[in-house]
Structure 1
């Protein structure tokens, strides 16, 4: 009877197993690091993209409304006739006769007014302005159809939850509409004009611009607006320093610096700024 020969077999030794585990661990660490780096880069790009989109949007919106400030359907109508005097209220400082821009009561925004081009023109809340006879192209709009907007910065302790809001003070049911979220801070400066509404020159030294908080009724009409907006992402999206944040902090007030420093939390920042001359303030 022939007996089959069975070859001896050996398993993996402990040393070989440990070497294999060590090599696998290094591979897993490398793959994990690549994944984490890609995820961090994706979040950074996403946050920066959101900031850039918000920057473009708010610049378009603010520049559009600043371009409308002081608009009259009848070019021959005087500013004093088109924009009567209006006392201050909970939202805005008082408008002098012929004035079309004043700061908000808290100096965190601007109040502006203009005549609608057509009856029922939509405001920043999406509501229609009061109806009037717009059958003739150069017929002045009545005072009842005047649109007065309060556009301001609404701060929040969570920087990415601050926002720019808008309110139509002449609407049937005024309500505050959020235009843009993700706003950490905002600065406003005005170029003051001569007290004579038809004197186009800016007052001496006004080319330097002055902070909105320094404006008073005796400063004269506002001829130009300069704004800077600091947009912020959610926290823990940045690893390292931010030159944008450092430059903004360097020029911030004590109160703003304290608020921003306490709530930085490694956010990603972007600044949007523009200077607009109020083009409709002319004879």
Structure 2
């Protein structure tokens, strides 16, 4: 009996093997790409959440200081005279401790709690060191801070620690920002409404803010419709082309030192 010996693969067998291998490679590659996109998206959302939490922490911490007086029996007019702070460009009327500059910028001022008090940049006021050792004494210098969002998607703090304003970046990744102010009639504790631009005769009791956070990485969004982005800008907004992931944060801070 003659036995046929196999000399190799036929062309058809080779083509079938290559086709199967190609499908396997494409499948594995697609799984890798999908996993990488999902990883980058999760990293981006974690970045948004971290920046969002830090934004709320910073703003709540500093807004809560607004109008703080070392001597509680002092009137606001006594503790906070009219002031034009040249380094920061912040100007306050008598008794005024919070000022809207524009839609993304506010100025605040407050007295230091103790000699170790620092501003939003971590700078103290050496002039107060020997003055406010005793409780309820008037400080030599109050704190003035300007908080703003610039076009580079950063939360910037400017403080008059010297004759020249010092500025620093606190947070990055803020696409857009909105301040609203809870106002009441003078002497009232009741918030009558929230306004983007309070009238001069109205007292600001709370600050409500909203921020649209976005990632530093591009082309990672898994939301083809960009629902969060359009929730912020409106359903008719153009779809962004950068592919960043977006997230909205909101918070309201009561200015406890402003409550009559």
TM-score higher than 0.5:
yes
Q: Which residue number in structure 1 is paired with residue 69 of structure 2?
A: 72
Alignment of 1:106-255 (within 5 A): 106-132=102-128, 133-142=131-140, 145-156=141-152, 162-194=153-185, 196=186, 199-202=187-190, 206-207=192-193, 209-211=194-196, 214-216=197-199, 218-233=200-215, 234-239=217-222, 240-250=224-234
Q: CA deviation at 1:242?
A: 2.4
**Alignment coverage as a number of residue pairs:** 254
With over 3 angstroms needed to count, the CA separation of the structure-2 counterparts of 1:210 and 1:251, relative to structure 1, is: farther
For residues 171-209 of structure 1, give each alpha carbon's deviation from its aligned partner in whole angstroms, at most 9, with x where no partner exists: 344221111101100011112233x4xx03347xx32x1
- The gaps in structure 2 that reach 5 residues or longer are none
C-alpha change, 1:279 and 1:76, in structure 2 (3 Å) is same
Unpaired runs of 5+ in structure 1? 1-5, 157-161
CA separation of 1:244 and 1:64: change in aligned 2, threshold 3 A: same
Cα distance change of structure 1 residues 282 and 9 upon mapping to structure 2, 3 Å threshold: closer
Q: For 1:202 and 1:89, how far apart are their aligned partners in 2?
A: 34
Decide which moves more: 40-49 or 118-127. Answer: 118-127
Alpha-carbon distance in structure 2 between the residues aligned to 1:229 and 1:171: 30
Give deviations 1:73-119, integer Å, cap 9, x for gaps. 11112211111112476855631211110012x33211000011122
Q: Is the 8 A contact 1:92 1:102 kept in 2?
A: no
Would you say the 8 A contact 1:101–1:113 is kept in 2? Answer: yes
Runs of 4+ in 1 over 6 A off after TM superposition: none
The CA deviation at 1:22 is 0.7
Task: Select 1:273's aligned residue among 234, 250, 253.
Answer: 250
Would you tell me which structure has more strand in proportion to its own residues?
Answer: 2
- TM-score (normalised: structure 2): 0.88
More helix by share: 1
Q: Deviations over 1:20-51 (max 9, x none)?
A: 11110010011001000000000000000000
> Taking structure 1 as reference, are residues 184 and 14 closer, same or farther at Cα in structure 2, changes over 3 Å only?
same
Provide the C-alpha distance between the structure 2 equivalents of 1:249 and 1:44, rounded to a whole number of angstroms: 22
SS at match of 2:127: coil
